[in-house]
Amino acid sequence: MPPRSEEPRRDATGSRRGSSAGGRGADPRSGEPGIGGISDARAYTPRGRTIREGGGAARTGAGGGAGQRRTPRSSRSGDPFRPALQVLDGGRAGSPRTGRRDTAEALDGGRAGAARAGRRDTAAGGRAGVVRTVSARPVREPFDDDEPTPPRRRPGPRRPERPAAARRPVRKPRRPPRLADPRRRLRLGTLLALALFAAIGIRLVVLQTVTTPAYADGGLPDRVVSVELPAPRGAIYDRAGDPLAHSVEARYVYADPELVKDRFATARLLSPLLGVPASDLAEKMQRRTRPGTTTKSRFEYLARGVGIDKAKEITALKLDGIGVHRDEAREVPGGDLAANLVGFVSPDMTGLEGLEAKYDDLLEGQPGKKTYEVGQGNLAAPIPGGYSQTTLAKPGSSLQLTTDRDLQYQAQRILSDQMAQIRDGVGAAVIIEIPSGEVLAQVSYPGYNAAYPEKARPADREDAATSFVVDPGSIHKAITYGAALQEGVITPDTVFPVANTITRGGVPFTDTHPANGRRMSIPGMLAFSSNVGTIEIAEKLGRDRLIDYQKRFGLGQPTGEGMPGEAAGRLLPADEWSGSSYGSVPIGHSVDATPLQMAAAYAAIANDGTYVQPHLVKEVIGPDGTRTPAAAPLTRPVLSPQNAAALRRMLEAVTTIDGPDGQATGLAAAVPGYRVAGKTGTGLRYVDGKRQPGAVGSFIGMAPAEKPRYVVAVFGWSPGGEGGAVAAPAFREIMGFTLHHYRVPPSAEPAPKFTAFP
């Protein structure tokens, strides 16, 4: 191996490293300019090649003699990048065994496309060698990106050079690929965009027009609330328009037991405001499960119809689990005034008794409803412009009755005062206007306060005028005498002897005022209430005709006045008559009737023999104030006007005969200044078909007798039989007040004089 040369390392052109351009650092042996400094730094690329190496390379060959230099091992190995890697390692020379690489091959990368221009041999420094000069094409900068990096040549022996003629021809540069037409791309993009917008538009149209209801309805329940709009219940007025019962706005107080923290403390605070015992309130607030379910109770009424002022006080307490909401209360201004007639309602405003129950469908309103969208959470308020639908509430219609509030009050007061004199009694009073048949007052005893119906016994809440079924007794005799007059059996001047006793079917019938077989006039028979004389007249009339007139006068069927549950009474059918029935039926026994039925029969006598159905409802007032008169009452002729007038005249004897032969039974019913025609009666009371102890005393009369304006009927029952002492005085006071209340002038002529025993 030759010794390592100590002279500076040269590159492929023979120049030394470290020399500068422009003559500085030139090799004294070759005269070649060197590369050094900044030029040397710029000449190297990242792959280790220099610009000078790219332009050509000198390859040294083997010379003869001892001075000939051995080809470096790197040239034999054929690795053209080895010098470059050495440059990158710092530019140090390789080992003496490797020598220098052929820089021209390093530049070409093993490509065979470069043409060799010629060869020249030079000798330098006593060494013989051959230098091959290669004509090279311009070389691009190795960092230009438009030319791919030449492939790395595999190390190995160098192929012998082929002749120029045998070399592969230089390929023509490929034609660049044809670019796409921008106009086609623009048209395609436009079409795609239009298709996209069309699809979106069609979808929007479908959503807005076709499927909108489905989507809207699907989410509506989650954001829609409904509020009931209450409809006030109609009022009940008297004939002058004064309210007997009407509805007012109120509040109800409720509890959510699951939210009430201390039910006992809460009950103590609410008790004085609600007027309910604290123990009852605490019981309602106790947590419980609803019957038949596993659901916890979250709502319990504590009070209904609470006044607005009280409700505000309760709200101010801010009690946990206690709430207040709008309610309706039925107000009865008169308390017990006409309570048995008007009736009452439940807390839910449903009629339970009286006219409230009879006309519940007409009085109750139809609640409205408002449905609207609200916000979520704390914004639970109507959404402006959102869904909203309102069904207006329809208030109930009102009733205007034929009753007179003032007259009702006085009749109720008078009857109560009279009935208070007897023990455990039941009484009724009815006032009918002639000729309209309107009921001006209808009184029951005992009464109750309709504002607190739960405090009264069920029997005390009944309307006695339509439910008090009695054996009318002697007041029925007016029907028997009226039928006999109409059928010509008797005349006002008829006189015949009357015995003290008469027996029919083995049953004796006697008189309380014995005639002792004397001749007796028809007025006298009425004045002394002769049973024997009445039975004899009925036998001449006959059973069938008597039953027919009973029906004409309205017995045996409800009057249809308007009260619910009105009793029909009962007439004894002809096929059920026994031997004693011929004696009992004419004098008012074996007959069931109500006070109202008997009052209506006397009203037919007062109305010149025409029966007019008694009625309570005058007109219906709609929610808009429209007034609709009630249906006209049923009417039918019963007696001729002449016979009716004759019967009225004979009935005056009941309140006027007072002589040596005795006093008439109805003297206590006489009204000073007015002629009164009427009849007393003593009957029996039956409950569920069973006769009750005691007796029913009654008086029915009309005034002024010469031209009646009003009929008043009074009934009183007591277990001790004191009703007879009550009826006539009560009639006198009620009739007297009625005549004065309506300013009826006194009778111009005194009552006729009657002789009982001519």
Per the CB < 8 A criterion, the answer to whether 394 and 230 are in contact is no
CB 505 within 8 A of CB 579: yes
Largest CA distance in the chain: 205
- Dihedral angle sign, alpha carbons of residues 279, 280, 286, 292: positive
Whole-angstrom distance, CA of residue 429 vs CA of residue 128: 167
- For the chain, report the end-to-end CA distance as a whole number of angstroms: 196
Pairing relationship of beta strands 398-401 and 236-237 according to DSSP bridges: parallel
Per 3-state DSSP, the chain is made up of helix, strand and coil in percentages (nearest 5) of: 30, 20, 45
How far does CA 466 lie from the centroid of its chain?
Answer: 39
- How far is Cα 620 from Cα 617, in angstroms, rounded to an integer? 8
SS3 214: helix
What residue type is 726 in one-letter code? V
316 CB burial (10 A radius; 0-12, 13-18, 19+): exposed
Does residue 279 carry a catalytic annotation?
no
Residue tagged active-site, from 74, 474, 581, 584: 474
Measured between alpha carbons, how far is 214 from 206 in angstroms, rounded to an integer?
12
CA 443 and chain centroid, separation: 40
| In contact, 655 and 664? CB cutoff 8 Å | yes
DSSP 109: T
* Angle formed at CA 694 by CA 689 and CA 699, multiple of 5 degrees: 95
Q: What angle do CA 625, 627, 632 make, to 5 degrees?
A: 165
Give the number of other CB atoms < 10 A from CB of residue 328. Answer: 22
Q: Encoding tokens for residue 213?
A: 């209801």
Query: Would the CA dihedral through 378, 381, 386, 391 be positive or negative?
Result: positive
As annotated, the active-site residues are 474
